[in-house]
Structures are given as C-alpha cells and as structure tokens.
Amino acid sequence: MRKRIAFYGGTFDPVHCGHITVAKRLLSLFELDDFVFLPAFHAPHKADKKPTSAYHRFAMLAMATAGLPNITISTLELDHAEKRYTIDTLPEIIELHADADIFFVMGADSWRDILTWREWEKVLLMTNHIVVTRPGYEISFGHVTEAVRSRIVDLRNSHESPTRTATNPALFITDAVSRDVSATEIRNDIREDDRLDRENDVPKEVAKYIEKYELYR
C-alpha cells in the first residue's frame, strides 16, 4: 500500500486551533499516514506583510503539535531562508516521497486567491489537493480552468470516500472542518488589547509563548 501524506502550507503566524482542527480531521477522514505542516519562510503572495520571525513561528508549531501523533513539521521552505513558491517546493516534496500519494492542503481563502500563485494551474494538476471550507468564504469554481475543474471531487454533502484511488490527481473539496479562527484576527486582538482575548483560538502552550515573548504587541 502506498503511503498517504498531506502537506499544509501557510504562514502560521501564529498557528491556531483552526489549523490544528484541519490537521486532525483530515488525518482521519483521508486515512493519512502523516500530516505535515509546511511553514513558509515568507508567504510570497503576502509580500506586503512581513511575518514574525521563522524561529517564533516554528516554535509555536512545535509546541502545538508536540503531543499529536502523525502530525509533524517540515522545514523544507524555512531551510531555503528566502521566498519560495509552491511551484518550486511541490516537485521537491513529490521527489522526496516518491513512494507516497501527496495531498496539498489549503483553506477556502487560498482557493479563492489561487490565481495569484505562480504557475497555479501546474501546481493544481501536479498532485492531489484538498480544499477545506472556512466560515465566511464561499467556494466557487468559475475562476479555474476546465482542466482543473475536471479533477474536482466535491465531498460536501456526499458519502463518497475520499480514499478511492483515482488515476489522475484529484482536487478534493471538503466541509469536514468549520472553525471561524484567523491568525489576522488573533494578531489584531492582541495589538488592540495588549492581550489574547479569545484564548480558545490558540493551543494553550502557544498562548503562553505569545505572552512570554510579547508577540504581536
């Protein structure tokens, strides 16, 4: 049996309970062997906003995932210490895990903005993707090409198994997760009130870390 590994790219500034819920839920729903967080050195399409240092973001991810079996972190993008695009990283991942089926995970907001990704169609056709619903974002398909649309397996309100083997890579849409948390809101809250208001939005250890190092003030 081929292994099944998901990669979840993002800034994770900070990692929050929305991200963790996505990881746990997809791990079981897609019968994955591993779920890997892939923090970006600097999200290329968010070039206007400079994220918190990679060290802090990695440390928070490490604490949030320490007790979670099969949920790990890849430093593939951080190691390059420069802007990287998914079109550069994904072939490396596929080559490193030639014996596995790869699933690239994104939220509904990333899906909406996918046309801003470098060589987005190539990225979408290169491997399996999982698009996860997110409160406040409708999922539509009008912005992508027919080649991409023909790969869509919409699992919303469906009993179809996401583990079926397809000949071509598929683009799965799932509503298995619905958590209204965003890193921007967390950062804004802290900046405005000097403290983390919605403590349930981030794992406890992450909340303590943010407090200790006075992040986002």
Task: Give the footprint of ligand ATP on this chain (CB under 6 A).
Answer: 10-13, 18-19, 22, 106-107, 109-110, 132, 134, 177, 179, 181-184
Report, in Å, the least distance between residue 183 CB and ligand ATP: 3
Report, in Å, the least distance between residue 111 CB and ligand ATP: 8
Q: Which residue is nearest to ligand ATP (CB)?
A: 107
Q: Helix, strand, coil % (nearest 5) of the chain?
A: 40, 20, 45
2 vs 140 by CB, closer to ligand ATP:
140
Closest CA to 155 of 141, 174, 169: 174
With contact defined as beta carbons under 8 Å apart, do 197 and 189 qualify?
yes
Report, in Å, the least distance between residue 181 CB and ligand ATP: 5
Report, in Å, the least distance between residue 165 CB and ligand ATP: 25
18 vs 162 by CB, closer to ligand ATP:
18
86 vs 170 by CB, closer to ligand ATP:
86
Q: How many CB atoms lie within 10 A of CB 157?
A: 6
3-class DSSP state for residue 71?
A: strand
DSSP assignment of 28-63: HHTT-SEEEEEE-SS-GGGTTSPPSPHHHHHHHHHH
Report, in Å, the least distance between residue 147 CB and ligand ATP: 22
Which residue matches tokens 């996401």?
162
12 vs 35 by CB, closer to ligand ATP:
12
Which residue matches tokens 């995970």?
105
50 vs 164 by CB, closer to ligand ATP:
50
